[in-house]
Homo-oligomer: A and B are copies of this chain.
């Protein structure tokens, strides 16, 4: 079997790991009409995917992110595999989506690499580990790379792509083709750093948010509203650098720095730098979040997905 040219669907996708990320990958691929096989080492988790993947795939129709015909075509060929071998053996793209545990990923990927077709590409959904480490035990590491999606993968277009030391341009091109066919926007992380790009930025945000809440500056719901109706809108419309390039008249970021660097430097000097969340702080944070959001997680997620799909559709239309 040879690799598909970019933009063409793979004959089959295997998703290994049926948690939230794995189910999201499966829903995304199924919504494009692609045959998907999912497998999880935990039988109860695989069981849950029987319901969860079709539900999430069909939700994309309700959110106008996929067509009913495509979704039903994909779901016709959706299956829970009984073994890793059954899932992987005829797949042209294998997506690893197990928990973020280096040893577990290394073992699983070595096994996948042994079973997979010669022309298959293998991707890890790791959110921050070094590709060199993840694929350390794979003999076929030339066709392995990291493709990190965000949560929920069937909605958020961004994926971070990292190659390992042995990844070939052909494998990268093959993965790129699949991702573009799924409407994803891959960005390339040139040097692997812990957390890649998105994880580091998210970590910087979340530490400061947690600190502002735990030190009583602002409530969880006001903080979430502050970000969602404030800077996140600007960042979604332009990204951080473009935001500041446009924030100080027609001469761009140069003037912005002249006017506001002093403020930023004062704030940088005052930002929190702790790197551990102690058990009592964890409890306080969980309590604050649960008090701010009393509805069931499923209902909150449904409402969030509605907003998310509306934003994504609006952005797509405004870019045309």
Chain A residues touching B, majority SS: helix
Q: CB within 8 A of A245: which of B222, B245, B268, B293?
A: B293
Min CB distance A223 to B, Å, is: 6
> CA–CA, A226 to B184, complex, Å?
11
Q: Is the CB of A238 within 8 A of B231?
A: no
Given contact pairs A150-B231, A229-B185, A253-B289, A311 touches B263 in the complex (Cβ within 8 A):
no
Tally of this chain's copies: 2
Report chain B residues within 8 Å CB of A205: 201, 204-205, 231, 235, 240
Q: Is the CB of A224 within 8 A of B239?
A: yes
The answer to whether A85 has its CB under 8 Å from any CB of chain B is: no
Report chain B residues within 8 Å CB of A128: 263, 266-267
Q: Is the CB of B304 within 8 A of A315?
A: no
Report chain B residues within 8 Å CB of A266: 128, 194-195
Interface residues on A, range: 35 or more
Given contact pairs A252-B289, A274-B268, A229 touches B157 in the complex (Cβ within 8 A):
yes
Q: Is the CB of A252 within 8 A of B297?
A: yes
Report chain B residues within 8 Å CB of A188: 218, 222
Q: Is the CB of A239 within 8 A of B225?
A: yes
Report chain B residues within 8 Å CB of A200: 208, 212, 267, 270-271
18 A–B contacts from the bound complex (CB under 8 Å): A151-B247, A188-B218, A190-B216, A191-B217, A193-B212, A201-B209, A204-B205, A205-B235, A227-B239, A232-B239, A235-B235, A250-B297, A252-B293, A261-B282, A264-B277, A265-B276, A268-B275, A314-B314
